[in-house]
Amino acid sequence: MSSIISVKDVSKTYSRDSFSIPVLNNLSLEVDEGDFLALMGPSGSGKTTLLNLIAGIDKPTSGTITVGGTDISKLNESALAKWRAQSIGFVFQFYNLIPVLTAFENVELPLLLAPLSKSERREHVETALTVVGLDDRMDHYPKQLSGGQEQRVAIARAIVTDPLLLVADEPTGDLDKNSADEILTLLDRLNKEFKKTIIIVTHDPHAAEKARITRTLDKGYLV
């Protein structure tokens, strides 16, 4: 199986006033197409920083990151934004849904930049909401949904563009156990049935068990 993600000798340092704060240290990682990877480690270990670098939200201080054959560490901000929109589906701990939009409208948002007709957008949105089991909640607003349902809407929004890579930062961190189990089962299904490459950041060993591979970071190093 071929690598879809190649992280080579990547370091990330943040500057604050006259201080340099190293977060990742000369880190290398390969992820194969179709993998389900969990990144674990204590707070401050660099998990979210690594996820953000792979997803093109941030840039490394040194080293290279190649995703799907594109060296994203060399892209300028404009090209990176376009690449993210086409290639990455994001799932956040606190859902990041827009409260004044329905589930349908929240999921439709990423498609508004795509060259699709209204009927094509509707078809994509309905498919994504059906995959996450919420085709009967399309017209509901976030406040009318449970936390688990809100996270499923967020996952539908993340997959509606059929991205190359799905990244999730603590996707079950704000959920009760039953809702968390539903989300983990859904991610597992997206990986196995729909062959999505998935990376999650989690503190939860139960969440990491769903992944095929678990890697642990500690003080900026892969253990």
Query: Distance (Å, rounded) from C-alpha 131 to C-alpha 126?
Result: 9
The per-residue pLDDT for range 71-95, each reduced to its tens digit, is: 998 999 999 998 998 899 999 888 8
Give kind and range of the element (H or E) at residue 14: strand 3-16
Question: Of the ranges 14-18, 35-39, 207-211, which is most confident?
Answer: 35-39
Query: Distance (Å, rounded) from C-alpha 165 to C-alpha 36?
Result: 10
In a domain, 18, yes or no: no
In a domain, 58, yes or no: no
The per-residue pLDDT for range 127-176, each reduced to its tens digit, is: 999 999 999 999 999 999 999 999 999 999 999 999 999 999 999 888 88
Specify the CATH number for the domain of residue 151.
3.40.50.300
Query: Distance (Å, rounded) from C-alpha 127 to C-alpha 148?
Result: 19
In a domain, 54, yes or no: no
DSSP bridge partners of 7:
29, 65
Query: Distance (Å, rounded) from C-alpha 35 to C-alpha 118?
Result: 33
Kindly state the percentage of the chain with pLDDT values over 70.
100
Identity of the amino acid at 33: E
In a domain, 68, yes or no: no
**Residue 110 tokens, joined:** 């990423």
DSSP bridge partners of 31:
5
Kindly state the percentage of the chain with pLDDT values over 90.
73
1 pLDDT above the threshold of 70? no
Q: What 3-state DSSP class applies to 161?
A: coil
Range of the domain at 166: 28-45+73-218
Query: Distance (Å, rounded) from C-alpha 133 to C-alpha 2?
Result: 31
Residue 187, CA distances (Å) to 74, 84, 146, 152 in order: 30, 20, 18, 10
